């Protein structure tokens, strides 16, 4: 049987409600092959995990790599997880419950497998290969539909006893505020997540305050995503710009509490809204942070926009597998 030193290939896997992405990396984390497929919620847990395994197998075939060279698999996925047992307890939009992902992948491929929260994996990817390289403590914040957070401290993902930590989107910011998807009220996501931004922008378009956005997406909140918002701002919609700036500044303001707690030296905003308008978003996050963080912490951190884009989670998951399985090689 091959030892780990004989195995030179790592696979990263990004699973979410709409897609699954497998990337095969060599021992220097250069991509050898990548394969993307749509997820299918109606497959159920058993069918979904078979689809995962098939996607990885096809990616290995595309890379021209035999399974005997596979050192490990890392999977980044949303939802509550049992990290120690490698079980996805529940996945948004897929309807999975108690999916034994690690056990299934290890049985199929005969190599170690690990799972991680997708934002944790993305933050780790930025720590190893992107905007947070060289940091002692890196704090990631990813405002998409919700607002995800992750932290890497001295090379290790900060986590709870069994599951992930840093639910930044659910920091309470308004006492008795709007109802959040988590069941509580006044969470950061309710005022600064992409869905909240889109709803406010739709209202502005309806009132005639955002003509470019109305032209691009109408007033359908579901159609008002990061791209149309950025185009509306570029097209002169001052109301939309004001909404996005206020949301980004609120993210920075709320993040001040996390900075006061963890004292990171790198803060890394990323994902949809940030990728579409990086300069605007960073400017407001910095303003919110600097205006609220304890004076003694001001100037101790840098805010740097994420660099890896869609590859952050998949590459971070593969690298986290390496760190977990063969830490001496990381």
Regarding whether 153 and 118 lie in a shared domain, the answer is no
pTM assigned to the model = 0.94
Regarding whether 107 and 138 lie in a shared domain, the answer is no
Q: Using an 8 Å Cβ cutoff, are 39 and 90 in contact?
A: no
Residue range 60-97, pLDDT digits in tens: 999 999 888 999 999 999 889 999 999 999 887 788 89
Number of domains within the chain: 2
Q: Decide if 62 is inside a domain.
A: yes
Return the pLDDT at 129.
98
Regarding whether 194 and 282 lie in a shared domain, the answer is yes
- Return the CATH number at 78: 3.30.420.40
Nearest partner of 126 among 281, 311, 327, 272, judged by Cα:
311
Q: Decide if 263 is inside a domain.
A: yes
Residue range 200-212, pLDDT digits in tens: 999 999 999 999 9
Pair of tokens at residue 45 = 């847990």
Residue range 264-323, pLDDT digits in tens: 999 999 998 999 999 999 999 999 999 999 999 999 999 999 999 989 999 999 999 999
Regarding whether 260 and 117 lie in a shared domain, the answer is no
Return the pLDDT at 5.
47
- CA–CA distance, 14 with 12 (Å, rounded to integer): 7
Q: Decide if 201 is inside a domain.
A: yes
Residue whose entry in the numeric block shows the structure tokens 């309470």: 172
Residue range 143-189, pLDDT digits in tens: 988 899 999 999 999 999 999 999 999 999 999 999 998 999 999 99
Regarding whether 94 and 146 lie in a shared domain, the answer is no
- CA–CA distance, 269 with 194 (Å, rounded to integer): 14
Q: Decide if 204 is inside a domain.
A: yes
Q: Decide if 229 is inside a domain.
A: yes
Regarding whether 294 and 147 lie in a shared domain, the answer is yes
Regarding whether 34 and 81 lie in a shared domain, the answer is yes
In Å, what is the CA distance from 249 to each residue of 210, 245, 252, 263, 277? 21, 6, 5, 19, 14
Q: Decide if 129 is inside a domain.
A: no
Question: Looking at the predicted structure, is the pLDDT value of residue 2 above 80?
Answer: no
324 by DSSP, 3-state: which? helix
Question: Looking at the predicted structure, is the pLDDT value of residue 36 above 60?
Answer: yes
Regarding whether 222 and 114 lie in a shared domain, the answer is no
Q: Decide if 63 is inside a domain.
A: yes
Return the pLDDT at 330.
81
Q: Which of 15-19, 30-34, 228-232, 303-307 has the lowest mean pLDDT?
A: 15-19
pLDDT band with cut points at 50, 70 and 90 for residue 56: very high
Residue-averaged pLDDT of the chain: 94
Regarding whether 158 and 291 lie in a shared domain, the answer is yes
- CA–CA distance, 81 with 95 (Å, rounded to integer): 14
Regarding whether 173 and 79 lie in a shared domain, the answer is no
Q: Where in the sequence is the domain holding 281, given as residue range(s)?
A: 134-303
Q: Using an 8 Å Cβ cutoff, are 249 and 260 in contact?
A: no
Regarding whether 118 and 91 lie in a shared domain, the answer is yes
Regarding whether 148 and 68 lie in a shared domain, the answer is no
Residue whose entry in the numeric block shows the structure tokens 């992948």: 105
Q: Decide if 10 is inside a domain.
A: yes
């Amino acid at each position: 049987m091959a030892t780990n030193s004989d195995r030179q290939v790592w696979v990263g896997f990004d699973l979410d409600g709409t897609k699954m992405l497998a990337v095969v990396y060599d021992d220097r984390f250069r991509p050898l092959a990548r394969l993307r497929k749509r997820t299918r919620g109606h497959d159920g847990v058993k069918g979904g995990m078979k689809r995962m395994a098939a996607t990885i197998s096809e990616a290995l075939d595309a890379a021209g790599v035999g399974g005997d060279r596979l050192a490990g698999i890392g999977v980044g996925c949303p939802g509550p997880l049992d990290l120690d047992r490698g079980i996805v307890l529940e996945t948004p939009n897929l309807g999975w419950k108690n999916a034994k992902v690690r056990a299934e992948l290890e049985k199929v491929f005969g190599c170690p497998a690990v799972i991680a929260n997708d934002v944790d994996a993305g933050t780790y990817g930025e720590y190893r290969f992107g905007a947070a390289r060289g940091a002692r403590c890196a704090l990631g914040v990813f405002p998409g539909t919700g607002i995800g957070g992750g932290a890497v401290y001295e090379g290790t993902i900060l986590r709870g006893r069994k599951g992930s930590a840093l639910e930044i989107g659910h920091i309470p910011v308004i006492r008795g505020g709007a109802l959040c998807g988590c069941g509580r009220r006044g969470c950061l996501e309710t005022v600064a997540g992409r869905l909240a931004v889109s709803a406010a922008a739709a209202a502005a378009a309806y009132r005639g305050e955002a003509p470019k956005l109305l032209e691009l997406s109408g007033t359908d909140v579901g159609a008002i995503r990061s791209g149309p918002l950025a185009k509306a701002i570029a097209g002169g919609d001052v109301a939309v710009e004001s909404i996005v700036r206020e949301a980004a500044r609120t993210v920075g303001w709320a993040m001040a509490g996390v900075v006061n707690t963890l004292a990171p030296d790198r803060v890394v905003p990323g994902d949809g809204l940030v990728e579409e308008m990086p300069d605007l978003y960073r400017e407001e996050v910095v303003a919110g942070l600097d205006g609220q963080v304890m004076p003694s912490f001001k100037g101790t951190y840098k805010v740097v926009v994420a660099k890896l884009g869609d590859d952050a989670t998949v590459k971070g998951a593969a690298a986290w597998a390496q760190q977990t399985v063969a830490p001496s090689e990381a």
